[in-house]
Structure formats: structure tokens, C-alpha cells
Structure 1
């Protein structure tokens, strides 16, 4: 059976769209990957232009991406929910049934690499986020 992975960040506008493409490429036809954000602020908006450009330089195309807010349907679809940082991981469990909580796991990160989504945050080059 092909695993279904849901990648979640704050807005589904920088990190999780890129992670979706990278994981889908790495998993190939053996994995289905979707992405979502905790908040709907960027609902139906394209990925941040800086992330689109960074992804392009790494061989990924984010131009078709449109942000989506996490939904119960997405959570039911997912076999695993991958959080882009600890704060995201701390948020969804309140929305999850107990058996779903056991299936959540943070993405591994290197120290100093957590980066909140969105404008108004300290600017961190998107290429660093993409590596």
C-alpha cells in the first residue's frame, strides 16, 4: 500500500509546498504527498515568490501551488503528518483523534533551521530553507 504523507507548516506558502515536491520526488510512485497550513491566511494564494525562485534553482516547480488550510479530510487521508517545526507539531494534535496523534512526527531539522512562514518575519534566504 502506498503511504499518504501530509506535510504541514503555518501557512502552506513557503516550507510545506517545497517539502511536498521534494518528498514526492524522493518517494516516486510509492508515495502520495500533500501539503497544508494551519492558518488560512494565504488560502488559494501561490507560494511565496522567493520560495518559487529558490525551488526553481533546485529543479522544482512551485508555480502551480495554491495554499490550502489543513482540514479533517486531509488528516483522515494521511497515514503520516509531518510537521515542519515543533510549533506546528504542537498545534494539530488538538484537532486529531487519539489514534491520529500517534501518527504525527516532526521532520528532522538541524539546529537553527526552524523558520516561521510569512512576510514580516526575519528574512532568511529561502535557499537555506530548501536545503
Structure 2
């Protein structure tokens, strides 16, 4: 499973899915390559018991798209971009993380926005992984 643009979604899905689920996060913009997760999201994740300090960003590749069984986009803009680059064979794998709505972008906002975003992302894991939170 691939979660685009969210190191926290990667960690939350992997935790909920346990050892049987491999999750990778990648972004569309190369400027985040090898960069740590946003400090405000690291702090919000910590409040929920997650550790993002080891995360390093990576840019999406066609190999990643081919590898993934499911590709989750945080918002419709990312989903539209993925549709444009993924190729017809990968189109059925694409979905919004929250099913029918965007995850609000907390970038440039205060810590409350990051906390709210993290809570929403963690709750959204139930849409994709049918196991209780661990």
C-alpha cells in the first residue's frame, strides 16, 4: 500500500496493519527527497504515540506505483496528478485516503491544525485496514 505525501499515514497504516502490511509514503515533489518529516507533524504524531523521527522523504516512481496494491492520495489534487502519471494499468489502484473527501493540508498552519490532521489520518486507517489500532 502506498500513501502519498504523508509520513504519518504511512506509520499509522503500518501500525494498524501489523507485520502483514507493507506501507510506503512518497511525495510528488522532489524537493522533499531525503528530507525529514515536518517538525510540526513529528510533534503531532508523537502525541498519538508515533515516532516519525527516522522518516526521510522519497519521490514517487513508476516502480512504486507498480509495486503497490493500493495507492492512497491525501487530496484530490494529488489524486488527479497520480492519474495523469500512473498509467492505465495502475488507475484502479488509486483512491482518496478518506474515501470521499480530502485530508486538510496543515502546512503553514499552527500546531492545532497538525494535531487535528494527525487525528483524522489515524482515524482514517479504519477505511483501509480492518484491524483494531495497536
TM-score range, shorter chain: 0.7 to 0.9
SS of aligned partner of 1:66:
coil
**Structure 1: distance between partners of 2:17 and 2:29:** 27
Q: Which runs of 4+ in 1 moved over 4 A?
A: 109-113
Residue of structure 2 equivalent to 1:129: 117
Pairing 1:95–2:85 present: yes
Q: RMSD of the alignment, in Å?
A: 1.9
Residue of structure 1 equivalent to 2:97: 107
Number of residue pairs aligned between Structure 1 and Structure 2: 118
Pairing 1:7–2:6 present: no
1:1-131 residue pairs with structure 2 within 5 A? Answer: 5-9=1-5, 16-108=6-98, 113-115=103-105, 118=107, 121-123=108-110, 125-131=113-119
Instruction: Classify 1:112/1:85 alpha carbon distance in 2 versus 1 (closer, same or farther; 3 Å).
Output: closer
In terms of fraction of residues, the more helix-rich structure is 2
**More displaced 10-residue stretch of structure 1: 104-113 or 21-30:** 104-113
Q: What 5-or-longer segments of structure 1 have no aligned partner? A: 10-15
SS of aligned partner of 2:30:
coil
**Structure 1: distance between partners of 2:99 and 2:2:** 17
Q: TM-score if structure 1 supplies the norm length?
A: 0.82
**Structure 2: distance between partners of 1:64 and 1:122:** 23
